[in-house]
Structure 1
Amino acid sequence: MERSAYYRNRVLPWLLLAPQLILVLVFFYWPTSQALYWAFTLEQPWGGGNSWVGLQNFISIFGDKSYWSTVLRSGLYAAVTTGISMSIALVLASFVDRSLKGTKFFQSVYVWPYAIAAPAAGVAFRFIFAPESGLIGALNTIWPGLWNPAINGGQALLMVMVCHAWLGIGYNFIFFLAALQMIPRSISEAGAMDGARPVRRLFDLQLPLIAPTVFFLMIMNLISSFTDSFGLIDVMTEGGPFGQTEVMVYKIYFDGFKTLDYSGAAAQSIVLMLIVIALTFVQFKWVERRVHYN
């Protein structure tokens, strides 16, 4: 029989919930309502309020070829950063998931990148990948012009993606290590006795058993790549060169606060929100059927 908690004072539960409700209303529902308002209206040229324009803002951004380039770039950014970060984290977790000397030290070291703020990491990686110094500078001395993200958009985008993937390794590593340690040792030992090498055991035994964790991390990494890349891009490239590192979240900022196109930026934010919602819905409804939890 389940026990339920009852409050004699009917006001007390609402007082306990009030701080969280206020935070949700102020930092989620209120900004969302304002974004919806601006997305369907247009500010008058000389002030004086907004006029209703319906879907005109959405038609305008959908008819812009540069916007679709940004959408495709965001998809590429999310796929690459998610793949790199999760793959490296899984390899590291499988290495330290052993009763060997020194594994405890590496278990703590691999988590450290997650504690670093994105702008700080962006500044560090900007210096690491600077074409004038370090390893890259030495390569440019041998092959002049081999690497210069200041003028090469592909290299600049790669630099940002590597930094974003590196930041997510610690987060993914924690979950992968916890999932691997939940697998009974007898299963891996049985596979080893049958002659399966570590890589074979990882793909044939361990990965199917931690599929729920992989599924969860894939969703979280994709959403993070779509929504949390602003700090890195603003510090490392500011969307350049020539807009080649401009993803959806940064374009919203640029159009809204640089070009002062509030309505267009609001419409873009609604599109980004719908993409994230659709991505999560598709993942849970389609991928979940192929994930075994037992």
Structure 2
Amino acid sequence: MARLRGFWEGSSRNPAKRVQFDRPLTPWLFVLPQLLIVAIFFYWPSVQAVTSSFYLEDPFGFGSTFVGMDNYTDAISSREYRRIAGFTAFFAVMVTGLSLSIGLLLAVKADKVIRGASAYKTALIAVYAIAPPVSGLIGMMFFDMHMGPFTEMAAWFGYEMKVGINYNDTAFALILVAVWKQIPYNFIFFLSGLQSVPVSVREAALIDARSGWRRFKDIVLPLLAPTAFFLLIINITYSLFDTFAIIDVMVKDKPANNPMTLVYKVYLDGFKGNDIGGSSAQSVILMVVVAALTVAQFRFLERRVHYG
């Protein structure tokens, strides 16, 4: 106990003092569980995917033939793959932009509420508790061609909405449901960022600028830059990967001309088409694109982010 007290007092006098372990392997034991999880669920599947992408594999596991880069060239040269890649980019931009914009707008409005603030926040956050497959099921109910309320609203304006049959209608429904599911996540972080702005800064802003928009643009928004940068990366990842369940529920058992993202095509080719090599090549391409996009964001966008 005395030894622990001496260590605590020494650390309080010198905050920069580092913790010393009696054995050099002790710190590795603390991080070993996390390292094992990362190695088993990330690195090992990644190595397996890269290896499989160079082979034409039998779906039943009876053998494989080395084909080199053929799986990659077949994917890139495929007109269907390029079309799906284009929709994936459009889908990611729309879902990310709308989710961030609406989440920030709701956070700004909720931050100004004084009476009943808890009820507003709870109502806006509650949607995040819904699982993605359930979100897709709710979306199917709202866009049902026979009794969906959104379909009936479109009929009032003389438009016949056919989600699951018409390509554009299905794309609109997928984007709307994906945005609806992600808004609460952005709302939570933006609201926390707004409430962390010091009162003194808000009072100084009232004196310096009469316009509410100018105060928000010149003072509040720069203070939210770290939060916005973090959410930008999270939302892009969400739109590319975490929307899989929504897409699966809403386009499953529908005509084959429906829109889909690259991660869903990996699933269709690998698990339903039994093209293990081609599916692995597509997953590697997607992994490289996402990694390059993340590096580019950190290299070019993070420079404009000022951490207080």
Amino acid of the structure 2 residue aligned with 1:21? L
Aligned position for 1:155? 169
1:178-217 superposed Cα distances (whole Å, 9 cap, x missing partner): 1111212333333334553333322232112211111111
Aligned position for 1:282? 296
Amino acid of the structure 1 residue aligned with 2:215? R
Query: Which residue of 261, 265, 279 corresponds with 2:275?
Result: 261
CA shift, 1:155, in A, is 1.0
Structure with the greater alpha carbon radius of gyration? 2
CA distance in 1, matches of 2:89, 2:116: 39
Asked if residue 175 in structure 1 is aligned to residue 156 in structure 2, the reply is no
Query: Which residue of 184, 189, 203 corresponds with 2:203?
Result: 189
1:25-48 superposed Cα distances (whole Å, 9 cap, x missing partner): 211111111101111122259964
Distance 1:140 1:195, change over 3 A: closer
Aligned position for 1:249? 263
How many residue pairs get aligned? The number is 294
- Say if 2:49 and 2:283, in contact at 8 Å, map to a contact too: yes
Asked if residue 225 in structure 1 is aligned to residue 239 in structure 2, the reply is yes
SS at match of 1:150: coil
Amino acid of the structure 2 residue aligned with 1:264? G
- Say if 1:156 and 1:241, in contact at 8 Å, map to a contact too: no
SS at match of 2:56: strand
- Say if 1:74 and 1:247, in contact at 8 Å, map to a contact too: yes
Asked if residue 293 in structure 1 is aligned to residue 289 in structure 2, the reply is no
1:132-187 superposed Cα distances (whole Å, 9 cap, x missing partner): 22433433654665211122111111111111111111111111011111212333
Asked if residue 198 in structure 1 is aligned to residue 212 in structure 2, the reply is yes
Aligned position for 1:89? 103
- Say if 2:164 and 2:250, in contact at 8 Å, map to a contact too: no
CA distance in 2, matches of 1:254, 1:160: 18
Aligned position for 2:7? none
Asked if residue 42 in structure 1 is aligned to residue 40 in structure 2, the reply is no
Q: Which runs of 5+ in 1 are unaligned?
A: none
CA distance in 1, matches of 2:277, 2:242: 22
1:244-284 superposed Cα distances (whole Å, 9 cap, x missing partner): 32110000000001111100000000011011101100001
- Say if 1:240 and 1:246, in contact at 8 Å, map to a contact too: no
SS at match of 2:215: helix
Amino acid of the structure 2 residue aligned with 1:93? A
Runs of 4+ displaced beyond 6 Å:
none
**TM-score (norm: length of structure 1):** 0.91
SS at match of 1:110: helix
Query: Which residue of 190, 214, 218 corresponds with 2:228?
Result: 214
Aligned identity (percent) is 37
